[in-house]
Amino acid sequence: MKQLLPFLLFLTVLTAQAQTKLSKEPANFVGEVKAMLLAGKVENAEALSASLDEVWNSGKLSAAQKNEVMEIAQQMYRKRFRANPHFANFFTTLTAGIQQQNLRPNQLDNLLEVTSKAIQHEDSKKLEQFLSTTSLYLSQNRLYQNAHYKLLATGGSFSFAYEGASKATDDNASEANGWGNISWDDEVNEQGEVLADDGWGAVVEQPKKVDKQKAAQKRKESLKQQFIPAMPKVSGPVLKLDKVTLMFVTAWDSTAIHNTNGQLMLSNNVFVGEGGEYKWEVNKQPALAELSKYSFTTSFAGFKAADVKVNYPAVLAVPVDGTLEWISSKRKTGNYPYPKFTSFTNDAKLNNLGNNIAYTGGFSLIGNQVGTRPLDGSLSQIVVSQNGTKNSVRWRGSIFWKTRWCWLAAPLSVFTRARTR
């Protein structure tokens, strides 16, 4: 009997594999899918089969689309994909797309085309991730979930695409050769700058007018690049989201990025986003961050946006640029250090300090603490005007406070000691 066990096991596996070879005849296809799902012990095999049968015979699939579905199933069979989870996720994607997301015919064509390309070009691990995430999103509007955390994408609109290798774009000749804005009659110096004619045929260089505001902005943009990483290159099967709300929900808290756009690479769970707003409270006062470009891995309960503009009217006179980070985890201390915002440099100005007190320096929001340390480590400064004279104190590093008056006590005490020496 023991000698028969390996043979019986081989026969069982062979039978299960044979059941996954699906018919190319539309009339027989759904029945064979059901048999495969049952043989593969898919948890919701009966319900999924019933949904597929309803979709298949509802008239919502054209003959061409049915053929494409059967061809994709054949491709999956040839690659030895399993009933659970691969085929289960594929048919969940199909039925949820039609029944829950009400995909239009052209949207369904697009989804099937992207699925076919993914099967052809992605390896088995990436394809499994693609099928899992796509079915999860179309059936539950979730980009990721586990026992303790889920990431939802609600509102807005979505579409699918397959992004291959980037193609070089043809630039206009005038822009490519550097002569686009220069007349053939103009003369240029060694740096390629246009020189002016004095009217007598003599060419003279014109002194440049320095725009201090533009120069300061240019320096700031150059500084920001030290702290802003390059965005991941989008490739492979992609879920494109437009004007959606990303909601992070964990066992400890929840938060959201509103009205954002982005692309989720379905084969590796990397989201590349742009725009949107993040709202929270610091000491029961509202704070708002306007996001630029950002990216994060959806399987991690948190995100980091390296370029945001934060407005905190309770303290800030004008919005400040910097980085924002949020992580959800179990609270171990009274002051949880997230959300965390830190300005790039010392350009923050505070309001309501009094007519004779001015602050310029770094700015941070770390949990419910407000601080003064910028990312570049530059100095912060308080200037006190009194009886027509101005006195200042400067420092490097961070001073934390819960109210602006508690915060002022520290640097002003330094200022007072310096004045009495």
CATH number for the domain spanning 326: value is 2.60.450
231 within a domain of the structure (yes/no): no
310 within a domain of the structure (yes/no): yes
pLDDT at position 96 is 98
Do residues 220 and 344 make contact, with C-beta atoms less than 8 angstroms apart?
yes
170 within a domain of the structure (yes/no): no
| Mean pLDDT of all residues belonging to the chain | 83
194 within a domain of the structure (yes/no): no
Domain boundary among 115, 140, 165: 140
Q: Does the structure show a pLDDT above 90 at 274?
A: yes
Burial 244-254 (b: 16+ CB within 10 A, else e): bbbbbbbeeee
Counting Cβ atoms within 10 Å, is residue 186 exposed (0-12), middle (13-18) or buried (19+)?
A: middle
* Domain range enclosing 364: 271-420
Omega before 337 within 30 of 0, i.e. cis? no
- SS3 of residue 391 by DSSP: strand
Average pLDDT over residues 23-51: 94
Q: Which band of pLDDT confidence, cut at 50, 70 and 90, is reported for residue 125?
A: very high
pLDDT at position 402 is 54
Domain boundary among 108, 140, 172: 140
Name the token pair of 299. 């399987």
| Cα(185)–Cα(275) distance, integer angstroms | 44
Domains: count for the chain: 2
Q: Which band of pLDDT confidence, cut at 50, 70 and 90, is reported for residue 400?
A: low
Q: Structure pTM?
A: 0.80
* Residue of 153, 74, 77, 69 lying closest to 113 (CA atoms): 69
327 within a domain of the structure (yes/no): yes
- pLDDT tens readout for residues 299-355: 999 999 999 999 999 999 999 999 999 999 888 767 789 999 999 999 999 987 778
Q: How far is CA 281 from CA 317, 366, 408, in A?
A: 17, 11, 22
Average pLDDT over residues 69-80: 94
pLDDT at position 389 is 83
pLDDT at position 141 is 98
150 within a domain of the structure (yes/no): no
- For 412, other C-beta atoms within 10 Å of its C-beta total 15
- pLDDT tens readout for residues 11-33: 444 444 444 468 889 999 999 99
- pLDDT tens readout for residues 219-262: 778 888 889 999 999 999 999 999 999 999 999 999 999 999 99
Q: Does the structure show a pLDDT above 90 at 106?
A: yes
Domain boundary among 110, 140, 170: 140
43 within a domain of the structure (yes/no): yes
Average pLDDT over residues 213-220: 76
Phi and psi torsions of 66, nearest 5°: -60, -40
Q: Which band of pLDDT confidence, cut at 50, 70 and 90, is reported for residue 394?
A: confident
Phi and psi torsions of 73, nearest 5°: -60, -40
Q: Which band of pLDDT confidence, cut at 50, 70 and 90, is reported for residue 208?
A: low
> Which residue has better confidence, 189 or 44?
44
pLDDT at position 147 is 93
350 within a domain of the structure (yes/no): yes
Do residues 30 and 45 make contact, with C-beta atoms less than 8 angstroms apart?
no
